[in-house]
A and B are shown apart, each in its own frame.
Chain A
């Protein structure tokens, strides 16, 4: 028994240090910092000011709402695009090709997000590759700036988070018994009915975990909105960055950070409740 206690402490000590020092304490610090401020004499005090600022300045809460809405739109588009792709890989592609297709699908996502965005930038900008070809082919007369607008930004977000939707969907579709679809087909069900009554209900766990991850990644993304979005498409993470690095107002930045954390936890919690799943199940 003694030896087993020793083993327990060897495992326990580094893990508790990791979780307390690097996860719990920093986030408690974030929370306390968000309630700190200075009074008129420059003395540190406790205050709600950082949060009231958020609600009284339209720029702040509008950015917040916009970010949340766009993250939801991104998640939905990713889902619409990922569904047929995963269906193809799991149910239509030749069994031999499946592995190769999966590898092809995974490869771009191992490359740094920055490289992928940079690729899109040299494709889409005014002097970019796409404009060059369209001019050559005579489709357009003058180059169009396709970067720096909301639509492009959402496309970029969909692109960067695609994989996290496709992988869970493929694995969940793989587990769907073909004979169910065959039976439905033999009994005269059309494509739509089969999708609505068999495929989508079966894929629910995969859809939930994919959506949660994609939503979270879109919400917390900094690079894509910053490099592909326009001057008017400010993302909430950029607000946080501005408070921290540009204005050096750490208290305000902490309040924003905590609000973002709250929003993402809330949406994830609602998603899990609606589909009656646990975080542990979704993660593994």
Chain B
């Protein structure tokens, strides 16, 4: 039944076979996508017509490879910018939130904690439309009352950043809080006894201790932002992020350029996830 108990041959074999099938199921779509990025054909399908890098480096007129495809390149840059700002913002606010919930006592703490968890159970689509509505209301309000016109309140780059930030902060808070709970408070007390200020202690001691968790959370935030679709869909303006841009292309028919983009995404995110895993292991 388990490692320490005797098992029959059939039991072992069928279980191993099942796991093998399961991992094939997991990886088949990814492997196929990657392989077909190198097929010398105008469609992302078999038969195999030979190895080619056209879908990465060709620059027209028949085929335009990824590195000459302005639209895709621009969306990759947009996604990087979005993810950059989202991870910085959510790490700052998420760390504040974990200090607030782990170290401070105040009225309505339970209620606020519940609110902090709420983005976990709000579907991304709903978050997107709510923010779109709120931004619209705020925009109308500012225009009517002050006669001011803010770009922020229209679907735009910064609205996407705010939308993703609003739920990614929750994940950062949970990761950092988990680490903060392991913190040995006598270290803080010692520093305070030796004359450090409260904020000095937080800066020099507590944040040092939290650094692995904060770096890990930032990486997770970056990845989550980079691949977010549901919330972004409603907030995006004239600068689509990579997932939105890919979606529009997939919906309207496909060329192997999409495979090339996917390959880069798969390799990039895997490397980042592995690096993150390696460093958090090391940090513990």
Judged by a CB distance under 8 angstroms, whether B57 is at the interface is no
Give the chain B neighbours of A91 by CB distance below 8 A.
2-3
Of the residues A92, A127, A220, contact of B124 by C-beta under 8 Å: A220
| B97 pairs with A260, CB closer than 8 A | no
Of the residues A216, A260, A279, contact of B114 by C-beta under 8 Å: A279
Give the chain B neighbours of A29 by CB distance below 8 A.
130, 133-134, 137
| B126 pairs with A30, CB closer than 8 A | yes
| A115 pairs with B22, CB closer than 8 A | no
- The 0/1 profile, CB within 8 Å of B marked 1, for residues 99-114 of chain A is 0000111111011111
A-facing residues in B161-201 (Cβ within 8 Å): 162, 165-166, 169, 174, 177-178, 197-199
> CB within 8 Å of B: which residues of A?
3-4, 6-8, 10-12, 14-16, 18-19, 22-27, 29-30, 33, 81, 84-85, 88, 91-92, 94, 103-108, 110-123, 127-129, 132-133, 159, 162, 178, 181-182, 185, 191, 194, 212, 216, 219-223, 226-227, 237, 240-241, 244-245, 250, 253-254, 257, 260-261, 264-265, 268, 279-280, 283-284
Judged by a CB distance under 8 angstroms, whether B215 is at the interface is no
> CB within 8 Å of A: which residues of B?
1-5, 15, 18-19, 22-23, 25-30, 32-33, 36, 43-47, 92-93, 96-97, 99-100, 104, 106, 112-127, 129-134, 137, 162, 165-166, 169, 174, 177-178, 197-199, 202, 223, 226-227, 229-230, 233-234, 242-243, 246-247, 250-251, 254, 258-259, 262, 265-266, 269-270, 272-274, 277
Nearest A residue to B102 via CB reads A11
Give the shortest distance, in Å, between B263 (CB) and chain A (any CB).
Answer: 9
Give the shortest distance, in Å, between A111 (CB) and chain B (any CB).
Answer: 5
Give the shortest distance, in Å, between A144 (CB) and chain B (any CB).
Answer: 15
Give the shortest distance, in Å, between A29 (CB) and chain B (any CB).
Answer: 5
Give the chain B neighbours of A85 by CB distance below 8 A.
19, 22
Chain A contact residues, majority secondary structure: helix
State the CA gap A4–B131 with chains docked (Å).
Answer: 34
Q: Known contacts A6-B199, A11-B96, A223-B229; decide if A279 and B121 are in contact (CB<8 Å).
A: yes
State the CA gap A118–B15 with chains docked (Å).
Answer: 30
Nearest B residue to A116 via CB reads B29
Give the shortest distance, in Å, between A143 (CB) and chain B (any CB).
Answer: 11
Q: Known contacts A110-B269, A244-B129; decide if A220 and B28 are in contact (CB<8 Å).
A: no
Of the residues B15, B29, B97, contact of A119 by C-beta under 8 Å: B29
| A24 pairs with B115, CB closer than 8 A | yes
| B45 pairs with A128, CB closer than 8 A | yes
Give the chain B neighbours of A220 by CB distance below 8 A.
123-126, 230
11 residue pairs A–B, Cβ–Cβ below 8 Å: A14-B97, A22-B162, A30-B130, A81-B22, A110-B270, A111-B265, A113-B227, A181-B1, A219-B123, A240-B129, A283-B174
Give the chain A neighbours of B199 by CB distance below 8 A.
3, 6-7, 10
Nearest A residue to B45 via CB reads A127
Of the residues A12, A123, A162, contact of B29 by C-beta under 8 Å: A123
State the CA gap A119–B26 with chains docked (Å).
Answer: 11
Give the shortest distance, in Å, between A247 (CB) and chain B (any CB).
Answer: 14
Nearest B residue to A135 via CB reads B46
In order of increasing CB-CB distance, the 4 nearest A-B pairs are A119-B29, A220-B123, A26-B130, A26-B134
State the CA gap A232–B1 with chains docked (Å).
Answer: 45
| B106 pairs with A8, CB closer than 8 A | yes
Of the residues B26, B32, B100, B177, contact of A15 by C-beta under 8 Å: B100
| B250 pairs with A112, CB closer than 8 A | no
Give the shortest distance, in Å, between A34 (CB) and chain B (any CB).
Answer: 10
| A112 pairs with B265, CB closer than 8 A | yes
Give the chain B neighbours of A106 by CB distance below 8 A.
273
Give the shortest distance, in Å, between A248 (CB) and chain B (any CB).
Answer: 12
Of the residues A19, A25, A88, contact of B15 by C-beta under 8 Å: A88
Give the chain B neighbours of A84 by CB distance below 8 A.
15, 18
Give the shortest distance, in Å, between A104 (CB) and chain B (any CB).
Answer: 7
Give the most central of B29, B120, B199, B277: most A CB within 10 Å: B29
State the CA gap A194–B2 with chains docked (Å).
Answer: 11
Give the chain A neighbours of B32 by CB distance below 8 A.
119, 122-123, 129
Give the chain B neighbours of A129 by CB distance below 8 A.
32, 36, 45-46
| B104 pairs with A11, CB closer than 8 A | yes
